[in-house]
Amino acid sequence: MSRAIEVGVLGATGMVGQQFLALLAGHPWFTPTWLAASERSEGKRYGDAAAWRLAGPAPEGVPDRVVESATPGMGPKLVFSALDASVAGDLEREFAEAGHVVVSNARNHRMDAVVPLLVPEVNADHLALLEGQRAARGWKGLIVTNPNCSTVMLTMALAPLRQFDLRACLVTTLQAVSGAGYPGVPSYDILGNVIPFISGEEEKIESETRKILGAAEAAGVTLHPVAVSASTTRVPVIDGHTESVSVSLGARPQAEDLRQAFEAFRGLPQELELPSAPPRPLLYLDAPNRPQPRFDAGRDGGMAVSIGRLRPCRVLDWKFFVLGHNTVRGAAGAAILNAELMLAQGWLD
């Protein structure tokens, strides 16, 4: 890339929007020139519309930027979306109709047959669905999505197990409060507590996982046959979703085979050396008490997923823990990696 291209951020004032601005500061390929949010924030100085909630100061210049109206046709061709799901469905479609390439975090379009639900290390080939999207929707632009935050880490851990005939997966999540946006869960509800319900989350993990691990064809994706059963909880952790995972495998691999499969796992982002690609997407941690969110969620800038405690399961075959940074690898970083892949493969020309 000889020159960075201009990008916009829809929902720039929210939890994920802030993570976008943090990750895009100094990005070699993308420069955020247009920040948009709701009518509540529109026309205000960013620093007045949104309190900065990430560690460290807001990127230089951001607090003085004026928040724009989220109007389709305004702003750069490439827009990242961190819109609230209550408005993302219609607004993202309207942006795509107006010619924007929308790279979204929101759930609304993820399960649309002609919308790629991407984890670039796992299913970069699903970008081929965009041909079907152009034909079926007739939008001047495009929509590409990244999965729910818990699903990103889960699919990265399951992808290298497909070679062992992955048949079933039980997953229980321990999800950080930043995953609920701001203000999110009231402190009185979450401090010293565990909440065994996150609306819609289990269904998303169970359906999105099968689409991501599935095979893309022109008209859509054939879902992977793995049976997934998810239980989700909210815990008093700021950043980093932990997942306890058990899997059933038709083949009979040994622990060392699985460990090697995790450690050898690489994808197109590593081959293409995309700017946000961690050199090793999966890090196997040997210490018996890792991974832990406070120490491991930020590995490789939050883009690497940590795995640990691989051991036999008496009900299924094997069990282990997975951890990833929910607003980086599970949201803004995931979308930025998607856009890098799209740029590298000519989808933004």
Could you tell me how far CA 282 lies from the centroid of its own chain? 15
Q: Does 323 bind ligand NAP (CB under 6 A)?
A: no
Site string for ligand NAP, 133-172 (x = CB under 6 A): ----------------x-----------------------
Residue 11 sits at the vertex; the CA angle it makes with 6 and 17, to the nearest 5 degrees, is 75
| Candidate segments 22-30, 102-110, 282-290, 337-345, binder of ligand NAP by CB under 6 A | 102-110
Q: Does 181 bind ligand NAP (CB under 6 A)?
A: yes
Size of site (CB under 6 A) for ligand NAP? 30
Find the DSSP H helices in 285-332. Answer: 293-296
In the complex, least distance from residue 153 CB atom to ligand NAP, rounded to whole angstroms: 11
Residue from 88, 205, 303, 343 in contact with ligand NAP (CB under 6 A): 88
Residue located via tokens 């010293």: 192
Residue from 123, 151, 178, 306 in contact with ligand NAP (CB under 6 A): 178
Distance CA 142, CA 310 (A): 40
Name the 3-class secondary structure at 59: coil
Q: Does 348 bind ligand NAP (CB under 6 A)?
A: no
Structure-block tokens of residue 198: 């996150």
Give DSSP secondary structure letters for 77-122.
SEEEE---HHHHHHHHHHHHHTT-EEEE-SSTTTT-TTS-B--HHH
Site string for ligand NAP, 198-237 (x = CB under 6 A): ----------------------------------------
Could you tell me how far CA 269 lies from the centroid of its own chain? 15
| Candidate segments 81-89, 220-228, 285-293, 316-324, binder of ligand NAP by CB under 6 A | 81-89
Q: Does 32 bind ligand NAP (CB under 6 A)?
A: no
| Candidate segments 34-42, 192-200, 264-272, 295-303, binder of ligand NAP by CB under 6 A | 34-42
Distance CA 21, CA 35 (A): 9
Query: Is residue 259 within 8 Å of residue 284, measured between CB atoms?
Result: yes
Q: Does 313 bind ligand NAP (CB under 6 A)?
A: no
Residues annotated as catalytic (active site), given as ranges: 149, 241
Beta bridge partners of 14: none
Query: Is residue 323 within 8 Å of residue 309, measured between CB atoms?
Result: no
- Find all residues with CB under 8 Å of 260, minimum gap 6, and list them: none
Q: Cite the beta strand spans of the chain per DSSP E.
A: 5-10, 30-37, 68-69, 78-81, 101-104, 142-145, 166-175, 215-217, 220-222, 227-234, 241-249, 282-285, 305-312, 318-324
Closer Cβ to ligand NAP, 296 or 317, answer by number:
296
In the complex, least distance from residue 88 CB atom to ligand NAP, rounded to whole angstroms: 5
**The dihedral sign for the CA sequence 183, 187, 193, 199:** negative
Distance CA 66, CA 169 (A): 46
In the complex, least distance from residue 96 CB atom to ligand NAP, rounded to whole angstroms: 16
Residue from 7, 15, 114, 261 in contact with ligand NAP (CB under 6 A): 15
Residue from 145, 248, 306, 326 in contact with ligand NAP (CB under 6 A): 326
In the complex, least distance from residue 321 CB atom to ligand NAP, rounded to whole angstroms: 19
Distance CA 216, CA 16 (A): 28
In the complex, least distance from residue 37 CB atom to ligand NAP, rounded to whole angstroms: 3
Q: Which residue is nearest to ligand NAP (CB)?
A: 14
In the complex, least distance from residue 16 CB atom to ligand NAP, rounded to whole angstroms: 3
| Candidate segments 84-92, 116-124, 208-216, 304-312, binder of ligand NAP by CB under 6 A | 84-92
- Footprint of ligand NAP on this chain (CB under 6 A)? 11-17, 37-38, 40-41, 70, 82-85, 87-88, 105-107, 149, 178-179, 181-182, 326-327, 330-331
